[in-house]
Amino acid sequence: MESDCLDVVNLWNSRHDDRTIVAPILAEILELSTSFKSFCIQYISRIANYPAHLCARHASTLDVTECWFDSAPGIIVTSLLADSAGASIVE
């Protein structure tokens, strides 16, 4: 897994008993990671992880949980297409 949150990556890789505010996130990652044969988290810059950054930013503006079954928000589709083409988009 790649993340642009260096603190989460470092906490995960240190495997210390964490009591910070992200402890529930780490616990959920640990639970989900058992579904895979192997699992690791590595840091990636936000620029290189731009579609995920846009998705997280979009989610932070929502008051309710949102699910997309047949289509995704246009900004996410655009960023994924730009990312796969090696281009960049302007916010």
pLDDT, tens digit, for every residue of 50-79?
777 777 888 888 888 878 788 877 877 887
Band the pLDDT of 91: cuts 50, 70, 90.
low
For residues 14 and 7, give the distance between their C-alpha atoms in angstroms, rounded to a whole number.
Answer: 10
pLDDT of residue 18: 67
Structural contact between residues 58 and 76, judged by C-beta atoms closer than 8 angstroms:
yes
Give the tens place of pLDDT for each residue, 8-52: 888 888 876 667 788 888 888 899 999 999 999 999 887 777 777
For residues 41 and 29, give the distance between their C-alpha atoms in angstroms, rounded to a whole number.
Answer: 10
The β-bridge partners of 3 are: 43
